[in-house]
Amino acid sequence: MAVRWLWAFGVMLIGGLAACTPTQAHPEGETLPPTMAISELVAVTGDEAMPLEIAPGGVYVSYDGKGPTTITVTPLDESDPPLDVVITVLDSDWQQVTYHDGNSSGEETIARLDLGDSGPYVIWVNSFNGSQAGRVEIQVTTLDVPVLTVGDDPLVIDLLAGDVARVMLEGLEAESYRITARSLTDDRDVRLALVDVDGAVIANNDDHEGTDADLSPLDAALMFEANADGRWTLEIREYLGRAAMVEVAISNVE
C-alpha cells in the first residue's frame, strides 16, 4: 500500500513540475512546426488595438507589414497569479524572427522590430509557462523613418539595445556629404552604414580616426558622393548592441 501511495505521489509531483516548466526562447532562424496555414489566422492591422483570448499554448495572429514596427500586448483582466505574457514573431516559413519576455507580469512591448519582405508574419502570444489563459489586447504600430538632409538640425536617435536604427538621407547628384554619428551616452561604440535602394552597402565606418574635436574615438563618420539625386538609408548600430542616445548630422563637403 505504501509503495503504491509513493508511486502515485511521484507521478503527481512530476506532472506538477512539467506544468510549471516555462516555454523557452527558440534560436533565431529556427523553424517551428506550423500549427495551421497563415491564411487561416486572424489578421491584425496597424489601425487599432485588437482583443485576443489566450488559451493554454497561446494564440496566433498574422501581420502583413514591413519596416520598423512596435508590438504591444496588454492583459485586460487582473488574475492571481498575474498573466505573464511572452511574444514570439515568426516569418512566413515559421522561422523565428524574435522572442520577447521583458516583464513577469503586465504589458509586454517590442519597442522596435525591423520587418523585412519575408511576410506575412505570425505573432504568437503566449504565457511564459504555456499554461495560463486570459484576455489581452494587441497593438501593432508602424514607425516612421525620419528624413535628414543638409541644413537640418542634428537628429537625436534613441538606439535601443540590440537595435538597428534607420534614417533616410536626401542628396543631390555630384554633391559630396559627410555624415557623423556621435554617442551622447558614455562608453558607446557607434557604427554607420550607408545603404542604397538595392540594399547594397556603399559606405560604412566604425571608429572615425579623424581630427574632429566634437567626436570621440568611438564615434563614427563617413563621406560619400551622390551619383544621382535620391535617398539613401543610413543604418546606425552600437558595436556591442548596447542602448545609446546618438546624434546624427549631415553636411556638405566643399
The order of strands in the sheet holding 121-127 is 42-43, 59-63, 121-127, 85-90, 96-100
Query: 213: pLDDT confidence band, cut at 50, 70 and 90?
Result: confident
Judgement on whether residues 222 and 183 belong to the same structural domain of the protein: yes
pLDDT value at position 211? 83
| % of the chain surpassing 70 pLDDT | 86
pLDDT digits (tens, 9 = 90+) for 2-37: 444 444 444 444 444 333 434 445 555 555 556 678
- Model-wide pTM > 0.85: no
Report d(CA 60, CA 123) in Å as an integer: 6
Residues 6+ apart with CB under 8 A from 6: none
Amino acid of residue 70: T
Q: Looking at per-residue confidence, does 66 or 187 come out higher?
A: 187
Q: Could you tell me which of 127, 129, 147 has the C-alpha nearest to residue 52? A: 127
Residues 124 and 231 in one domain: no
Residue 49 sits in a domain of what CATH number? Answer: 2.60.120.380
Asked if the structure places residue 6 within a domain, the reply is no
Q: How far is CA 246 from CA 58, 113, 207, in A?
A: 38, 18, 14
Domain encompassing residue 117: 25-142
Supply the pLDDT for residue 115.
83
Q: What percent of the chain has pLDDT over 90?
A: 54
Residue 17 region by backbone torsions, left for phi larger than 0, else alpha for psi between -120 and 50, else beta: alpha
Query: Is there a domain that residue 65 lies in?
Result: yes
Q: Is the same domain home to 115 and 153?
A: no
Written as one letter, the residue type at 233 is T
Taking all residues of the chain, what is their mean pLDDT, rounded to a whole number? 84
* 164 compared with 194, residue with greater pLDDT: 194
| DSSP codes, 201-223 | EEEEESS--S--TTS-TT-EEEE
The secondary structure element, H or E, covering residue 20 is: helix 2-20
pLDDT grade, residue 119 (50/70/90)? Answer: confident
